[in-house]
Amino acid sequence: MPSVIDRFFDYYTTLDNQSPLALAALYHRDAELVDPFGTHQGLYALQRYFTHLLTNVEQCRFSIDSPLSEGQRFAVSWTMHWSHPRISKGDTLALPGCSIVDVQDNLIIRQRDYYDAGEMVYEHLPLLGWLVRGVKRRVRS
């Protein structure tokens, strides 16, 4: 059986071709996924979340850097390449982020994803994007 890291890479590098049901081969039934949009507890909640995320997405794939691992934990930095017809005129966007993953019984029991939700969605919406970009410019000044 491939390692959980190999299965993680296989799933996310072709995410838009994967079924949310395939998460059962990667995540523990009691898994927890935490990202900027919330906490999702249990395999069924993860499957619902992924179904919702991938609805209407034209493309969603990850390029993933080599993992750092020790014991039952690994961390990866990645770039998500995605497009949605109602965001940024359907252009392919790139979003950098990273995941810290805890493993139990060769399945993911906890995953914490770090990325800028504003960069992902809010900056690409007409009025809200203008406001978010303006706030970021002021903070950088």
> What domains does the chain contain, in order, with CATH numbers?
4-116 (3.10.450.50)
Q: What is the CA radius of gyration of the chain?
A: 16
Q: How far is C-alpha 53 from the chain's CA centre? A: 9
Compute CA distances 103 → 13, 67, 76, whole Å.
19, 14, 14
Compute CA distances 116 → 46, 71, 97, whole Å.
20, 28, 8
Report the pLDDT value the prediction gives residue 19, as an integer from 0 to 100.
Answer: 92
Residues of the chain with pLDDT under 50: 129-130
Report the pLDDT value the prediction gives residue 8, as an integer from 0 to 100.
Answer: 97
Q: Classify 94 as helix, strand or coil.
A: strand
Report the pLDDT value the prediction gives residue 131, as an integer from 0 to 100.
Answer: 54
Interatomic CA distance for residues 68 and 119, integer angstroms: 25
Residue pair 108/114 in contact by the 8 Å Cβ criterion: no
H-state helical runs in 55-141: 117-120, 126-140
Count how many residues are written for the chain.
Answer: 141
Residue written as token pair 């996924």: 33
